[in-house]
A and B are shown apart, each in its own frame.
Chain A
Amino acid sequence: MTEPVLSVRNLQVEFITRRSVLRAIDGVSFDIAKGEVLGVVGESGAGKSVTGLAVIGLIDPPGRIAGGEIYLSGVRIDNLPQEEMRRLRGKRIGMIFQDPLTSLNPLYRIGDQLIETIRTHLNLSESAARKRAIDLLAEVGIPAPDKRIDAYPHEFSGGMRQRVVIALAICAEPELIIADEPTTALDVSVQAQIITLIKRLGRDHGTAVMLVTHDMGVIAETSARVAVMYSGRIAEIGPVQDVVQHPLHPYAKGLMGAIPTLASDARRLMQIPGSMPRLSAIPTGCAFNPRCEFAFDRCRVERPEPIRQGAQAVACHLYDAAAETAA
């Protein structure tokens, strides 16, 4: 079996505040294989973005990685010194942020930003870097890249800027791209183009993609597997088809039930009662237990570990019990 590009093991991220230590990520584990797109979904504050930032080493104080391990192609990276981590960023891990309107420095031509990034990571001359920059712009679908390279960010539309951001993220051919809500700030029609672009990157270059979003449609469109996060933990992870059509975790069921579809006959969308707990008040046991209609005593005391169910893995005591009775 080949080594996964990204392997996260039991990751814990804490934010130290004046009053207490808040645990934003608590025991998250997942793998992403070469060329695979892993979707990460969940409500705001579930820890999706923080997971991405932890992988690329951009958790700022007062936050810190408190435990667990992160491996990039088999090499541990979460404990690297700052300077080595910096060299890794942009070269082996690329990142795309949510808002293309604010991701680019307004005072520099996009060509200068591309060339600067290329020359930081690759040993190229100014003119070779410029040529590569033009090729990259062409690859991400910017028309007339040899002219547009000298334009400033404000001269591009939102969708075009996100293409430039993607070009910047892939300029050193990274093994892994972390895309943090790359389509949220865009029009629906532009979203589709950007999704196609991200999918193509995975296919053509074998780039692994961690796609953070709260849009199940985007996940279904792009990803092979999906991880559903809740309160800094993975509730369920598995192939997109299985998780969307047969969600196991009560939270995942609620989440899938809340997606409106044109085909469905249901008059009302499903709602999950209550809201996600604040980081300072995560309940003991399963974090979802106060909102869960199936919760029983064990859920309030003992934290569920991921349990394999076919291709899926689910962190819920319901399935542990099912396995026991079946045995």
Chain B
Amino acid sequence: MLAFTLRRAIQAIGVMIAVGIISFSMFRFAGDPVNQIVAIDTSAAERAEIRHSLGLDDPFPVQFSRYFINAAQFKFGVSYQFRQPVASLLKERMPATLELATCATILAMVFGILMGVYSALRRDSFLAKVFQAVSLVGISLPTFLIGILLIYLFSVTLGWLPSFGRGEVVHIGWWTTGLLTVSGLKALVMPAITLGLFQMTLIMRLVRAEMLEVLRTDYIRFARARGLTTRAIHFGHALKNTLVPVITVAGLQFGSVIAFAIITETVFQWPGMGLLFVQAVQNVDIPIMAAYLLVVSLIFVTINLIVDILYTVVDPRLRSTISRPA
């Protein structure tokens, strides 16, 4: 088990180095950084001077390892546009994005699983058909459109919810949270729904399909033949078997929720990392873009690692194949 975790952790580091190379090469593709610093009339000697003092004349491996070592300590350099360290900018924006993504995922998981289980068990009921229809909408409508529709309905027409921003936030250490104020919660509702809707319909359809599959298996038939209660069969035996693939998808989707947050944050002007990234793209603020790439990949890789470990908690068969050396 420990060996398995270690092996996965080493793989994760490998992925991070690869992402680091891509992120680092962004600086080179966007042109000579020296040109962006100096004035037009700076002499070639001065340019060489600056290039040398910044270490830009070192060979690629030296530059890259310097970059990567710094990045590993969360030193991402200074933003061109804000003239502030990128790390502190990201740190300031991260709570907003993580809060939004977490709420959206919880929303998606809770409602997705409930609706999925319901529509598998009461396949022919009216409500199950409504869920199926709604899920089609959720899967096919693009995120930004849902966001705009929600704003139109609840902010413009009904005036119930704010159309942009995060509301009042409370500082807890360096973390800021909108979950503790009424205006913060109100501001969170629409972005969380917008961001979570796609995941919710995905999870719902997955749970429904898996559950129907599991209900046809021999061990469910045998459980019925043993006279277990319907509740024990559905929620004890069937649901647990359904959850293995759901964990994978939900875990991987958490990563893409953070990535999709770019769109949702733009629509709702949500002050998170995604919005920062969009602004950085508009201003060719490479340090922010590179750092965003690294941070999002780190989150992705970490979640993957957690999902792999969670699997073995749920499924005893994996535990024994893992403990045996491959």
Contacts and interface: CB of A to CB of B under 8 A. Distances in A.
Interface of A: 56, 58, 86-91, 94-95, 97, 99, 102-109, 116-117, 120-121, 152, 154-155, 165, 168-169
Interface in B207-233: 217-219, 221-230, 232
A292 to B, nearest CB: 36
A152 B314 CA distance: 12
B317 A168 contact: no
B320 interface: yes
A103 B228 contact: no
A107 B314 contact: yes
A187 B218 CA distance: 20
A99 B98 CA distance: 47
Given A152-B316, A152-B317, A154-B316, A105 B219 contact: yes
A139 B168 CA distance: 68
A87 B227 CA distance: 6
Contact of B229 (A91, A120, A165): A120
A86 B225 contact: no
A45 B225 CA distance: 21
Contact of A89 (B226, B236, B316, B320): B226
Contact of B225 (A58, A106, A154): A58
18 contacts: A86-B230, A87-B227, A90-B228, A94-B226, A95-B222, A95-B225, A97-B225, A104-B219, A105-B237, A105-B241, A106-B315, A107-B314, A109-B316, A120-B228, A120-B232, A152-B320, A154-B320, A165-B222
A86 B317 contact: no
A103 B227 contact: no
Contacts of A152: 316-317, 320
Contacts of A104: 219, 222
Instruction: Please classify the interface of chain B as helix (H, G, I), strand (E, B), loop, or mixed, using the class held by over half of its residues.
Output: helix
A87 B224 CA distance: 10
A75 B225 CA distance: 19
B240 interface: yes
Contacts of B225: 56, 58, 89-90, 94-95, 97, 169
A168 B219 contact: no
Contacts of B218: 97, 99, 102-103
Contacts of A168: 222, 226
B227 A91 contact: yes
Interface in B224-259: 224-230, 232, 236-237, 240-241
A103 B220 CA distance: 8
Interface of B: 217-219, 221-230, 232, 236-237, 240-241, 314-317, 320
A109 B241 CA distance: 14
Given A97-B218, A97-B221, A89 B317 contact: no
B317 A120 contact: no
Contacts of B228: 90, 116-117, 120
B222 A121 contact: no
A105 B239 CA distance: 12
A109 B228 CA distance: 16
Nearest to B224: A58
Given A89-B227, A106-B315, A97 B320 contact: no
A117 B320 contact: no
In this complex, the member of B221, B225, B228, B230 whose beta carbon has the largest number of chain A beta carbons within 10 angstroms is B225
Contacts of A89: 224-227
A62 B236 CA distance: 26
Closest 7 CB pairs of A and B: A90-B227, A89-B227, A90-B226, A95-B225, A102-B218, A152-B316, A103-B222
Nearest to B223: A105
A109 to B, nearest CB: 8
B253 to A, nearest CB: 23
Contacts of A106: 219, 241, 315-317
A119 to B, nearest CB: 10
Contacts of B230: 86
Contacts of B240: 107-108
B216 to A, nearest CB: 10
Nearest to B214: A105
B222 A116 contact: no
A169 B317 contact: no
Contacts of B221: 58, 97
A168 B227 CA distance: 11
Contacts of B229: 86, 120
Nearest to A165: B222
Nearest to B225: A95
A54 to B, nearest CB: 13
Contacts of B226: 89-90, 94-95, 117, 120, 168-169
A294 B141 CA distance: 69
A176 B8 CA distance: 51
Contact of B222 (A86, A87, A97, A109): A97
Given A97-B218, A152-B316, A152-B317, A116 B224 contact: no
A107 B227 contact: no
A58 B222 CA distance: 10
Nearest to A90: B227
A117 B224 CA distance: 10
Nearest to A87: B227
